[in-house]
Amino acid sequence: MTSDDPIDEGLAALRNRDFARAATLLAEGAQADPERTPWAALAQAELALGRLDAAEQALDRQLARQARDVGALLVKGQLRDRFGDARGAVSFFRTALAQAGLSGVPRGLEPLAAQAEAYVAASNKAFAEHLLAQVGPVSPVVGEAIGLLTGERQLYLQQPSLFYYPGLAQKRFFDPVEFAWLEPMLDLLPEMERELTAVLEVEQADTFAPYVTAPPNRPAPNNPLLGKADWGAYYFWKDGAPVASAAQACPATMAALAHAPMPRIPGRAPMALWSRLKPGTHIAPHHGMLNTRLICHIPIRPAPGCSLRVGSDVRQWERGVPLIFDDSIEHEARNDGPEERVVLLFEIWRPEIPPEDRDAIATIFRAIDGYDAGAI
């Protein structure tokens, strides 16, 4: 018996898991009214019957109607895989997952989305292995390029939260040998280590202040380390001025900092401190305020189980090995070990910036600080 409304009857049959009847009725409805046909439902019925070609044809009609239908894209990827088209499967799975990142995974399709993620990851790995086998040994740069090509690595670029200086190379870590002034600083490392030990021996509750604080009369930052000494700071230079008590207690550290080309901006820079990370502390991923500086770490008390990630590069702190990086690229730090980690942290000008632009940047920030919105 033919239904007066084959689409409604077909959907009812599908809900009752009568897949043969559902497919027949929905196909009949498609001939009469293709614009009203629920193509995804027809694909589901055909798929349940094992009629893969018919299921894919219905999915294609659904995707022609709604190109970013997450469910249709996921099932289409499955079918492409079953037809032996792995590259096509990856393409549909990637599109589905990208759309799901925007609109969410439809209820009930979470297991299929998880399968798609695993499929794409395995495909990326196999593709990378294929490329490396064909190309042979490559430089770290080409190796990273292959990782980006295959999706195994993520692209991280400069994203300063306040001030962007165009045209600088997207470089995460810098080789310490490029900075001749580091050598006399490292000559003072034993004395700096002794100064840290002496300060810690008489440490008071406020010796290391919380690094993350709320500025007066401004909103507090959304940071789980706000007001906590888990990430502690002992300042030598703060807001562009030396800290007298630290200078008196740690003359060798102040002498070491004198070698560094630190920015000079009244009220802002230099900034230099011992940065202490207690066991179990995680500094969440974030970006620095500007890309015109580099952050330098000289390990004063390195510790096992600690790491610094800048973009896709992860480094550990080792005695006598400075880490110099662009903090406008997403970065985070962890202390997953049992001991506290202390580094001498300070900022320097990015070396590519010419003196006249350094002066202009300093003037810009002086103008920012001197701006009175209420005067307008």
Average pLDDT over residues 72-101: 93
Q: What is the DSSP string of 17-76?
A: T-HHHHHHHHHHHHHH-TTT--HHHHHHHHHHTT-HHHHHHHHHHHHHH-TT-HHHHHHH
Check residue 374 and give its pLDDT: 57
Distance CA 146, CA 137 (A): 12
Reading across the β-sheet that carries 313-315, which strands appear in turn? 282-286, 331-335, 306-310, 313-315
| Sequence letter at residue 282 | H
Summarize pLDDT for 59-75 with one digit per residue, the tens.
999 999 999 999 999 99
Summarize pLDDT for 235-280 with one digit per residue, the tens.
999 999 999 999 999 999 999 999 999 999 999 999 999 999 999 9
Contact 225, 211 (CB under 8 A): yes
Q: Whose CA is closest to 250, among 205, 196, 297? A: 196
CA angle, 345 then 351 then 357, to 5°: 110
Summarize pLDDT for 31-62 with one digit per residue, the tens.
988 899 999 899 999 989 999 999 999 999 99
Tokens representing 81 are: 């895989």
Neighbouring CB atoms inside 10 A of 173's CB total 16
Check residue 373 and give its pLDDT: 57
Instruction: Sort 136 into a burial class: Cβ within 10 Å, 0-12 / 13-18 / 19+.
Output: exposed
- H or E stretch including 277? strand 272-277
Contact 26, 49 (CB under 8 A): no
| Sequence letter at residue 348 | I
- With bands split at pLDDT 50, 70 and 90, how would you rate the model's confidence at 338? very high
Average pLDDT over residues 359-369: 92
- With bands split at pLDDT 50, 70 and 90, how would you rate the model's confidence at 202? very high
Coil/strand/helix, residue 144: helix
Q: What is the DSSP letter of 357?
A: H
Neighbouring CB atoms inside 10 A of 375's CB total 5
Q: Whose CA is closest to 283, among 346, 330, 347, 351? A: 330
Tokens representing 215 are: 């500025």
Check residue 206 and give its pLDDT: 84
Contact 99, 73 (CB under 8 A): yes
Q: What is the DSSP letter of 373?
A: G
Check residue 129 and give its pLDDT: 87
Average pLDDT over residues 194-220: 91
Average pLDDT over residues 75-102: 93
Average pLDDT over residues 90-100: 94
Average pLDDT over residues 219-233: 93
Check residue 1 and give its pLDDT: 45
Summarize pLDDT for 103-117 with one digit per residue, the tens.
999 998 999 999 999
User: Rounded to 5, what percent of the chain is helix, strand, coil?
Assistant: 45, 15, 40
Distance CA 10, CA 83 (A): 27
- Does 185 score more than 50 pLDDT? yes
Average pLDDT over residues 145-157: 87
Helix axes 39-48, 6-15, angle to 10 degrees: 50
For all residues of the chain together, what is the average pLDDT? 93
pLDDT above 70: percentage of residues in the chain:
98
Q: Which residues have a Cβ under 8 Å from the Cβ of 342 and sit 6 or more positions away?
A: 196, 274, 275, 276, 277, 299, 300, 301
DSSP alpha helices (H): ranges in 152-234? 182-187, 189-201
Q: What is the dihedral of CA 360, 361, 365, 368, to 10 degrees?
A: 70
